[in-house]
């Protein structure tokens, strides 16, 4: 398995001839979706969903109905390639198995509407990788958690507790474009301090960087 960080919440996973791209939004590289066999989108916020980036590929776009409705209205050319999925659904994309997990975005403020959000649990050659989108969905048996570390809906104690609750041996930072380097350093220090006693690793990759080695 090869995992590449593509900015903010976007990652590319490559395994056995299959390339998946997750959440190529407005804060990720413009060419993030190029070369994908399928693109998965967790929810409709602009930092996870960008029609112009989806136009950089002809691959099917796997997503939930709320996102599909937005694309049918604003980008009908992209909507022609939609595959709409529901929470709990399982599917196979090339060499990768996918389970749709979670239903709602985390609360930003009680007075704001709560969007739909579904993450994806990927089986990549026997290694399970969880991208929760903008939610703290707890899933058992995760080998590698793509861990949101900075957001208007998240504080550092929640980030730490979420990583510990999932219990993945490896945790890779995502959703990290809205903090300064100083802020990310503070968050990273807390994560390393609190996850180490549970024998959990934490790493933050720069955009374009690959994970150094596959999870065990």
106-155 pLDDT tens trace: 999 999 999 999 999 999 999 999 999 999 999 999 999 999 999 999 99
- In the block, tokens 């503070």 appear at 186
Model confidence band, residue 213 (pLDDT cutoffs 50, 70, 90): low
Question: Residue range 48-69: average pLDDT?
Answer: 98
C-alpha torsion sign, points 12, 85, 145, 181: positive
pTM: 0.96
Q: Are 9 and 178 in contact (CB under 8 A)?
A: no
Flag whether pLDDT at 216 surpasses 80.
no
Q: Are 128 and 141 in contact (CB under 8 A)?
A: yes
* 18 CB-contact burial (10 Å; exposed 0-12 / middle 13-18 / buried 19+): middle
Domains and CATH numbers, the chain: 2-203 (3.60.15.10)
Q: Over pLDDT 90: what percentage of the chain?
A: 98
Q: What are phi and psi of 15, to 5 degrees?
A: -155, 125
The β-bridge relationship of strands 119-124 and 127-131 is antiparallel
Q: What are phi and psi of 174, to 5 degrees?
A: -135, 175
Flag whether pLDDT at 175 surpasses 70.
yes
Per-residue pLDDT, 212 = 73
CA 51, CA 25: separation in Å to the nearest integer? 8
Cα torsion through 63, 66, 72, 76, rounded to 10: -30
Question: Residue range 24-38: average pLDDT?
Answer: 97
């Amino acid at each position: 398995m090869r995992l590449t960080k593509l900015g903010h919440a976007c990652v590319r996973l490559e395994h056995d001839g299959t390339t998946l791209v997750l959440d190529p939004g407005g804060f990720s590289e413009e060419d993030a979706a190029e070369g994908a066999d399928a693109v998965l989108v967790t929810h409709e916020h602009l930092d996870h969903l960008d029609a112009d980036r989806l136009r950089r590929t002809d691959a099917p776009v796997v997503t939930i109905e709320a996102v599909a409705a937005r694309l049918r209205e604003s980008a009908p050319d992209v909507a022609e390639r939609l595959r709409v999925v529901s929470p709990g659904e399982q599917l196979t994309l090339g060499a990768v198995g996918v389970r749709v997990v979670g239903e709602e975005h985390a609360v930003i403020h009680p007075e704001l509407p709560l969007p739909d959000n579904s993450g994806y649990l990927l089986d990549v050659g026997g290694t399970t990788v969880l991208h929760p989108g903008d939610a703290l969905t707890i899933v058992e048996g995760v080998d590698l958690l793509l861990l949101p570390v900075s957001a208007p809906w998240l504080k550092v104690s929640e980030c730490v507790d979420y990583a510990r609750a999932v219990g993945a041996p490896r945790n890779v930072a995502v959703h990290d474009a809205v903090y300064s380097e100083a802020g990310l350093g503070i968050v990273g220090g807390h994560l390393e301090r609190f996850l180490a006693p549970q024998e959990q690793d934490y790493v933050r990759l720069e955009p374009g960087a690959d994970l150094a080695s596959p999870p065990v």
